Amino acid sequence: MGELSGDNLDFERLNYVTIGIQPLTPPPSNLTFASQSSPWNIIWRMLGVVFLVYIIANLSVAAVYGLFIGDPSLATFSLICSLPLVLLFLYSRRPKLTHVMMATPSQEGSTQHNISQSRVLFTPIPTKFTHHLLRDSPPLELPKTSTLWFVFSVTIIVAFLGMLPVFLSDNPIWLMMAVLVGVPAWLFGFSLPVHAWWGFSTKHFQLRTTKSDGEKMLVAGMLSTIPALSINSLIFPLIIGIFGIDYMSMLGEFLILTVSAPVGEEICKAAFVIALYKLIDSPKRGFQIGFSVGLGFALLENLQYILFSFAGGPIGYSATTVIRGLGSIPGHAIWTGLSGVSIGWYICIKRGISSEKQEQNGNWVLYDKTSGFVKHSQLDLTNFGIKMREWLYKPFDKTWKLPANPIVGIALAISGHAFWNGSYFLISYLFMDTPIIIMIIANLTWTVIMIGTLYYIGKEILAAVMHIP
């Protein structure tokens, strides 16, 4: 065989020299990737997830009901209907991965790196090459809380005005307008308060949270409604039926509100907080996760309440949306937050964090955004210019002690939930035989008292959370 020319030799090298394929490796712990997204993006994503989980939850309860009454066809039909929705849910929750390639100059490296069978990276100098699959993890960003509350207020006013004519006239034009106005208002009405409370808590907890982790917390709360619905709708009515109590009777309704709902829902929400134990790196994170799980639960529950409120017309819809937005939503968050902080303490103490560190790690510093200099610290709170924030940065010795035992934390959550539900039932019962206007005034008065009390308790709890690690 004759000698190969230089050109032929280069050709032979390119075609026959084997370059080993560089395998994927785990990314370094300090390497993160975040793509830019709109602060409103997470709201739209959660709206889609809410509808999916709401239908899945109701189909799941129907399947369990079919098993209870011995109707396998109902159970089978419900499961078959839910299967494509479950697959769609899993598809929507798939992680968004990015292929990141890194070439670092090194005399011990190479100028050729085989990435795959058809891709080769050439570098002008010797480099060491690594490549990883990274989860897209941008920081959690939400619209300003004030913006969310403003849009929510406008939504309620527009919904009221858009729905009012259809209840005063049979003109089909008004019906069409009510649909065109009511549906968008309904979409915003049940979700914006949740995200407003979430934005507030995320801002003041000062915990670095990715959008992916934040979505996990809310979705966990939504999923907790599935076993909770089964307990409230099927299991507990069967239990009290054994003792001869009709769940449709006044006593049955009272027991469901004060026993079944608080116990079942708070235990289910706490179980899903525990399911996120890998995210819990501090007691404060435990509170944040519990708070968010409670909000996720409220997202699904609000959808059902506000759907039913349409039958009451614009007044019923508006009143339900406002009362739940101001009262029930933060109530769910605060109750489950108590479960979360106690679970967080338990997990972290097991990992070696002592509860004695609470005051030491609770000091805070306020920085000026523009200059970066310290403006205020915990020591000069009396000179703090923003008086409305003083309640959040109270001295440690003036704050409440939060539960560090999960049994105590969950028991407090159940108690708060039970009192909220039971007191409303008792007010309605006491004024049942009075004129309707008296009953409305009594319920509204009690609502104001309960929301005021909840806000006081919530402020004290949040001020205490600022001091825990």
Q: Does the pLDDT of residue 384 top 60, yes or no?
A: no
* Closest C-alpha to 67, from 223, 238, 243, 224: 238
Higher pLDDT, 375 or 310: 310
The confidence score (pLDDT) of residue 307 equals 72
Average pLDDT score over residue span 66-70: 85
pLDDT of residue 107: 86
DSSP state of 136: B
HEC string of 181-216?
HHHHHHHHHHHHHHHHHHHHHHHHHCCCCEHHHHHH
Residue 354 confidence (pLDDT): 55
CA distance 168 to 162: 12
Q: Mention every residue, 6+ apart, whose C-beta is less than 8 A from residue 196.
A: 145, 148, 149, 152
Residues 85, 59 contacting (CB under 8 angstroms): yes
Compute the average pLDDT of residues 386-414: 80
Can you tell me whether residue 120 is helix, strand or coil?
strand
Better-predicted residue by pLDDT, 413 or 64: 413
Residue 264 scores a pLDDT above 90: yes
Instruction: Give the least confident one: 124-133, 377-386, 453-462.
Output: 377-386
* DSSP bridge partners of 38: none
Is 350 buried (19+), middle (13-18) or exposed (0-12) by CB count in 10 A?
exposed
Residue 409 has pLDDT above 60, yes or no: yes
Closest CA to 410 of 309, 341, 355: 341
Strand partners, 367: 374
**Binning pLDDT at 50, 70 and 90, where does residue 12 land?**
very low
pLDDT tops 60 at residue 151: yes
% pLDDT > 90, the chain:
28
| CA–CA separation, 404 and 355 (whole Å) | 8
What is the percentage of the chain residues whose pLDDT exceeds 70? 82
Asked if pLDDT for residue 234 goes beyond 70, the answer is yes
Query: In which band, very low, low, confident or very high, does the pLDDT at 383 lie, cut at 50, 70 and 90?
Result: very low
Question: What average pLDDT does the chain have?
Answer: 80
Query: Is the pTM higher than 0.85?
Result: no
Amino acid at 38: S
Q: Which pLDDT score, from 0 to 100, does residue 391 have? A: 64
Q: Which of 88-92, 116-120, 306-310, 459-463 has the lowest mean pLDDT?
A: 306-310
Q: Could you tell me the two tokens for 172?
A: 């089909």
Q: What does the alpha-carbon distance between residue 247 and residue 168 come to, in Å, rounded to a whole number?
A: 37
Looking only at the bridges linking them, the beta strands covering 120-135 and 97-114 are: antiparallel
In this predicted structure, the answer to whether residue 77 has a pLDDT above a threshold of 60 is yes
pLDDT computed for residue 303 by the predictor: 80
pLDDT in tens, 41-60: 888 888 889 889 989 998 99
